[in-house]
A and B are shown apart, each in its own frame.
Chain A
Amino acid sequence: MAGAGRTDTRLVESETTETDAVAAVAVGLSAVLFALAVAALFGRVSLTGSLLGVQTVTLLGGLLTALGGTVIAFGVGSRFGYVETNPDPSAGLIAGFGAAVPWVVIGASVASQTLGLGAGVGVVAGVATGAVAFAATVLPREDLGSTVPLGALLGVTGLVFLTGAIGPTWVWELGWAQQAAITAEFLIPVSTLFSALYGGWASAKAYGGFGARGRHMGAYVLVYVNALSIVAFLFILVAFVVVQGIPGLLNGTEFGFGTGPTTSVFGVSVALPVSVPFLMNGVALFNDFQGVLPAIVGTVWLVVGAVVLAVPLGVGAALFLTEYAERGRFTQVVEVATNGLWSTPSIVFGLFGFAFLIPRFGNGKSLLSGMITLGFMLLPLVVITSREAMLSVPDEYRDASAALGVSKWQTIRSVVLPAALPGVVTGVILGVGRIAGETAPILLTMAGGTFVPGSQTADVIGGFQFTSAPPFVANPELLQATSALPYQLYALITAGVGASSNVGNADEFRWATALVLLVVVLSFYAIGIATRYYFRRRLRHT
């Protein structure tokens, strides 16, 4: 009922109208398309197969065309006053650039590849198409500008799929020296994904009735999709590794009394009621099933050693820098140096360990060298985050403590450190996440082969010995080469596991190793997050 050019807005929105419902359906359709595209990208939906009795590509094409048509119809209807909206005079430059980008790609590809006019013409055609899309977005009133170019994009993509111009078996040979080709398996999901995003953006704007509210809706949809896809990709990655890794992990698993290996708990020998050979065995000639126990234990000890080394040093350094040192050139130099150290490539740390530590600790790769190398890697992050955490402790606490006549060190110990602890723990969590998955330094300082025998499982606690001569305590276990999960995974992939080796299924073995690595790293995360939660709670609600 609103005439074209009417700008005033009703204070109270009328109930949901049919047109609102249409826009909402369009938003929903975009969401469905987005989900389908992601599923197809990860091979969860087969492009050659069919969905709901329709061939997948045809279904995608049909949905895209329908969405494009709806979006255009909504825009045109609004322009001619059949739909009540509050559009601005123009969709704006950013929307113009947004619409121009896909049209540049389409124009260039069609001119250079489909029509075979060569690269130069392709560039010109791409720029021209983009310019038209830009003008079509920016020049007309917002309801037309933000729907027609995007609706047309959806329509073109959909029709290409519908007509079979790009079908499930389509391949584009790039013709480079290497064998490189863009296949339908990649192109169809990706173009559907982007089209769905654009469709969602346009229909969300339409649902909001264009104008300020429409833009808010459009931005909301984009931000929401962004956040959702981050979570989704993380979930997909973890799920992928779990699904692939489970068979290898459970290979030869037995339940039942006395099936597991025998361990001694407080001097009493107990046979575990469960046997998971992958987690409980090393590699040996007579094992029925091979496992990665030495690598698991190696990883855990590595991280523990690195944390024990880096946390006191790092927190101490941060304390000195924030509480004692005069802020000036010296602290600036230290700050730059720590930041630089944090961005130093890990292989450089590895080389340092190889050249400096190994000759000093038994002249061979050892767990101790690995721990120290990783400790040095962790150190800068602990310094940086602890410093941030201490700087964010309000000065009021320090003033209050000083006004009670409490000395500086006591203030630091009882007020500053407890308040900074959650931040320090966060830094350690981040750092552990990095070093636990680090391969290069371990390669040079600690690793001992692709297949690590069970006898090489580091028994650090049991390894301590007292000697009569200085240094009075020795631990040969720390000086032994062992393995860690990231290195083991790397070695399995590069050195390969032949069919003749006694590892049953090489692929399963690798995926299971990856899964165990993931679980170990995530467990460290969980410990860190629990610790942080505990300290935060103590600060907030004692």
Chain B
Amino acid sequence: MSENTTPRTETEPQTETATTGTDQPLTTTAGESVEQTRDEWREYDFRGEAKMTVEDLDVHYGEDHALKGVSMEIPEKSVTALIGPSGCGKSTYLRCLNRMNDRISSASIDGSVKLDGEEIYQDGVNLVELRKRVGMVFQSPNPFPKSIRENIAYGPKKHGDLDTGLLARLLNRSDAEERDELVERCLRDAALWDEVSDRLDDNALGLSGGQQQRLCIARCLSVDPEIILMDEPASALDPIATAKIEDLIDDLSEEYTVVIVTHNMQQAARISDQTAVFLTGGELVEYGETDQVFENPRSERVEDYITGKFG
């Protein structure tokens, strides 16, 4: 992390804003310790490249300060878990990474998010391209009311990569074969192929909740993303479906960079390589290797949260 040294000075005003937040339990212990913890997590050294670099990210929803000066680097081809109590801003943070918060008109976002070193919050960013590269899976499974095949082919079709329309068929230029290959590859990658290969033309809403969620993951893979953001993907599912999703995330992390928000600390401990803990008020309190965060947290608040005393 060669460039870590330079932004460290920039975090100074950030720690000030954190200390001015009066009624936070952490700041009452010692304003100093905040600074220390922050310094330590920024030194968290991971193998490989930083896929995304977030610096001083502030999000306001109208008057509400949802995210306060978050800085963090997300390593490539790994699983990063974001944990924390409800309303702590972890979903907001996740939605900043592919600019889905732009869709909320009251949200205002300050700070910097870089994808492969390129700023995504600047004029002229192609949102289509950004969201193709940074895919997203939502909390509740949300397949389109179309067939399984259509669900997966939807993205590439809309981007013009696949053409199976009437005109293409008439001109004998239909990409039906490519489409079917793509559908099979995505479903296999999402560990769903064996269950649905014989009913690709059935409506996706007829699948079970877990299957629907894996279909959504497959749909996300169809546009060939580099990063997959998951917002509590297993919270609406039963334990067996959850286990399947977890196995799937493990497999996906070999090729993709996965960032996952979860309420379930055991899940975070099981599947993630590094964990970021957000606490109430929209602060990132600790970020480090998962084993270290869970076994030996640097912050007392995080220890309280993990051991169940708080949050």
- Give me the interface of A with B, judged by CB distance under 8 Å: 326, 394, 396-397, 399-407, 410, 414-415, 418-419, 539-542
Contact = CB atoms under 8 A, between A and B. Distances in A.
A406 B155 contact: yes
A400 B158 contact: no
A414 B129 CA distance: 20
A406 B144 contact: no
Contacts of B129: 405
B100 interface: yes
22 contacts: A394-B142, A396-B140, A397-B144, A399-B138, A400-B144, A403-B136, A403-B138, A404-B155, A404-B223, A405-B128, A405-B129, A405-B131, A405-B155, A405-B223, A406-B128, A410-B158, A414-B154, A419-B145, A540-B203, A540-B205, A542-B147, A542-B150
Nearest to B127: A405
B131 A400 contact: no
A259 B136 CA distance: 69
A449 B146 CA distance: 52
Contact of A399 (B103, B127, B128): B103
B290 interface: no
B116 interface: no
Contacts of A399: 100, 103, 138, 142
Given A326-B105, A406-B158, A418-B145, A541 B138 contact: no
B154 A406 contact: yes
Contacts of B220: 403-404
Given A326-B105, A399-B103, A542-B146, A404 B202 contact: no
A403 B144 contact: no
Nearest to B128: A405
B142 A396 contact: yes
Most buried by A among B100, B154, B219: B154
A402 B146 CA distance: 17
B270 interface: no
B100 to A, nearest CB: 6
B202 A541 contact: yes
A405 B202 contact: no
Nearest to B146: A542
Interface residues of B, number: 35
B98 interface: yes
A403 B98 contact: yes
Secondary structure of the A contact surface, majority rule = helix
A404 B158 contact: yes
A248 B154 CA distance: 57
Contacts of A415: 144
Contacts of A405: 127-132, 155, 159, 223
Contact of B138 (A396, A407, A410, A542): A396
Given A399-B138, A541-B206, A542-B203, 9 more contacts: A396-B142, A400-B216, A401-B154, A403-B100, A403-B136, A403-B138, A406-B154, A418-B146, A539-B145
Q: Which of B98, B105, B142, B205 counts the most A-chain CB atoms under 10 A from its CB?
A: B142
Contacts of A418: 145-146
Contacts of B144: 397, 400-401, 415
A542 B145 CA distance: 8
B135 A403 contact: yes
B201 interface: yes
Which residue, B98, B136, B158, B202, has most C-beta atoms of chain A within 10 A? B158
- In order of increasing CB-CB distance, the 4 nearest A-B pairs are A405-B131, A396-B142, A403-B136, A404-B155
A404 B138 contact: no
A415 B140 CA distance: 18
A404 B219 contact: yes
Given A414-B154, A541-B206, A400 B147 contact: no
B131 A404 contact: yes
Contacts of B146: 418, 542
A148 to B, nearest CB: 56
Contacts of A407: 128, 158
Interface in B120-165: 127-132, 135-136, 138, 140, 142-147, 150, 154-155, 158-159
B220 to A, nearest CB: 7
B219 to A, nearest CB: 7
A402 B135 CA distance: 10
Nearest to B159: A405
Contact of A404 (B135, B140, B143, B206): B135
Contacts of B105: 326
A401 B222 CA distance: 12
Contacts of B132: 404-405
A407 B138 CA distance: 19
Nearest to A406: B158
Interface string B193-228: 000000001110110000000001001101100000
B207 to A, nearest CB: 12
B291 to A, nearest CB: 31
A410 B160 CA distance: 11
B201 A542 contact: yes
B142 A400 contact: yes
A418 B151 CA distance: 14
A385 to B, nearest CB: 19
A59 to B, nearest CB: 57
Nearest to B145: A539
A321 to B, nearest CB: 16
A505 to B, nearest CB: 55
Which of A396, A397, A410, A418 has most B Cβ within 10 Å? A396
A399 B102 CA distance: 11
Nearest to A327: B105
A397 B142 contact: yes
A33 B64 CA distance: 67
Contacts of B138: 396, 399-400, 403
Contacts of B154: 401, 404, 406, 414
Nearest to A326: B105
A160 to B, nearest CB: 61
B206 A403 contact: no
A418 to B, nearest CB: 7
A402 B100 contact: yes
B120 to A, nearest CB: 13
Nearest to B99: A402
Interface in B91-106: 98, 100, 103, 105
B80 to A, nearest CB: 18
A171 B138 CA distance: 73
B145 A400 contact: no
Nearest to A415: B144
For A400, A401, A539, the residue with the greatest tally of chain B CB atoms inside 10 Å of its CB is A400
Nearest to B205: A540
Nearest to B131: A405
Contacts of B206: 541
Given A397-B142, A541-B206, A542-B201, A402 B216 contact: no
A246 to B, nearest CB: 45
A180 to B, nearest CB: 58
Contacts of B150: 542
A394 B155 CA distance: 19
A326 B105 CA distance: 9
Nearest to B102: A402
A401 to B, nearest CB: 8
Interface string B218-256: 011011000000000000000000000000000000000
Nearest to B216: A400
